[in-house]
Amino acid sequence: MKQSVQKQTQASKLIGSFVAGTDRALIWLGVLKYDQSEAFGISADGKVVVGVAEQSSYPYGRFAFRWTESRGMEDIGTLGRPASSVARNTSADGAVVVGTSATAFLESEARAFRWTQSLGMQNVGALPKYRHSEAWDVSADGKVVVGRCYDADFRNQGSSRAFRWTARESMQDLGTLGGSRSGALGVSANGSVVVGWAYTAAEERRAFLWVAPGGMRDLGTLGGRESQAQDVSADGSVVVGWAYNASGRQRAFRWTQATGMQEIGAFHNGTSIAHGVSADGSVVVGSSNNKAFRWTASRGIEDLNTTYAGLLSEGSWLERANSVSRDGRYIVGRGYNAASRRYEAFLLDTGKAH
């Protein structure tokens, strides 16, 4: 049954900052009727953004949203239980949204969903023996969904499996690297390459690359013990995420077959995580020391707060960059909006493709 859609009550669709004489813009997307929000996914053309609006005080709640310039931020509903859903990503055209929602059947049951305007939010199920599932990414055409299934039951505590789902093939268990757990976080444009994290036989977390119809490949680390892949380029050739280096620092990485895993830096010798990558793999976005960053081979890692300081009002900052459009122009994430005195989802138009 089609889920109801609650429209943003305040005019957030064009609230933002612009630099005169350029096409650069920063748009704060609002919070619905709650007190904070965060954007996780963006369409290929930057016109559709998805994420979550949250209430951090009683009554608590999380609400999956879809934002467009024409309609603003809209609550896309749940799978039955009120106040518990999050949207993680969207198809290239912004028509399909995936994420996680609580169901009406069990108070503690969470399920991966696939949402469209015509059908509303649909439960994509879970693997056998697992109660819960969550979706993290979707292919460009909206037909392949990836995520993880897990079970909080005491008899199977800590077990989880990465999955790949299509309507035709249903849900496929992608396995592990010999350990007890795995989760899929990113998928290529055609749905044939999946990345995420999996435990080895030694129960160490490692970034993996899975290619149909093959299996799961350990991408290694930066010299430490653990790593995790967060996203993959359109053709599956570039993987980004985080890994520990030999000094025990968590650092963002960019991986290719030719170069292997390479550290892309951090601010002030701190920690960093790469969350998203452009279609061609040339633009990487993420966070370091609570500052949103962009990385390119020519410019290295740059603080978006410095590069786009002219778009930020006094006291505002961009904390995390979670996703980037296919051409590298649009970036979404979470920041602090001093004007509204709250953490909000943002859409940054960098003004040109990189």
First to last CA, the chain: 42
Pairwise CA distance, residues 324 & 29, whole Å: 16
Q: Write down the pLDDT at residue 110.
A: 92
pTM of the model: 0.93
Parent domain of 110: 6-349
Pairwise CA distance, residues 139 & 190, whole Å: 6
1 inside domain: no
Q: Write down the pLDDT at residue 80.
A: 86
Give DSSP secondary structure letters for 139-165.
-TTS--EEEEEE---GGGTT-EEEEEE
> Are 29 and 347 contacting, i.e. CB atoms less than 8 angstroms apart?
yes
Q: Write down the pLDDT at residue 15.
A: 55
Tokens for 63, please give them. 């609400």
Whichever domain contains 151, its CATH number is 2.120.10.30
282 inside domain: yes
> Are 198 and 209 contacting, i.e. CB atoms less than 8 angstroms apart?
no
- Dihedral sign, CA of 211, 185, 316, 17? positive
147 inside domain: yes
Q: Write down the pLDDT at residue 23.
A: 83
Please state the domain count of the chain: 1
354 inside domain: no
DSSP 305: H
Quick one: residue 158, left, alpha or beta (phi over 0 = left, psi -120 to 50 = alpha)?
Answer: left
191: phi then psi, degrees, rounded to nearest 5: 80, 5
Strands 36-42 and 110-116 turn out to be: unpaired
185 inside domain: yes
Give DSSP secondary structure letters for 88-125.
EEE-TTS--EEEEEEESS-TT-EEEEEEETTTEEEE--
302 inside domain: yes
DSSP 93: T
Q: Write down the pLDDT at residue 4.
A: 43
Q: Write down the pLDDT at residue 10.
A: 39
- Would you give per-residue pLDDT tens digits along the chain (354 residues)? 344 444 443 334 445 665 544 689 999 999 999 999 999 999 999 999 999 999 988 878 899 999 999 999 999 999 987 779 999 999 999 999 999 999 986 557 899 999 999 999 999 999 998 999 999 999 999 999 999 999 875 444 579 999 999 999 999 999 999 999 999 999 999 999 999 999 999 999 999 999 987 789 999 999 999 999 999 999 999 999 999 999 999 999 999 999 999 999 999 999 999 999 999 999 999 999 999 999 999 999 999 999 999 999 999 999 999 999 999 999 999 999 999 999 999 999 999 754
Nearest alpha-carbon partner for 132 in 114, 112, 118: 112
- Dihedral sign, CA of 136, 140, 141, 144? negative
Question: How many residues make up the chain in this entry?
Answer: 354
> Are 150 and 160 contacting, i.e. CB atoms less than 8 angstroms apart?
yes
148 inside domain: yes
34 inside domain: yes
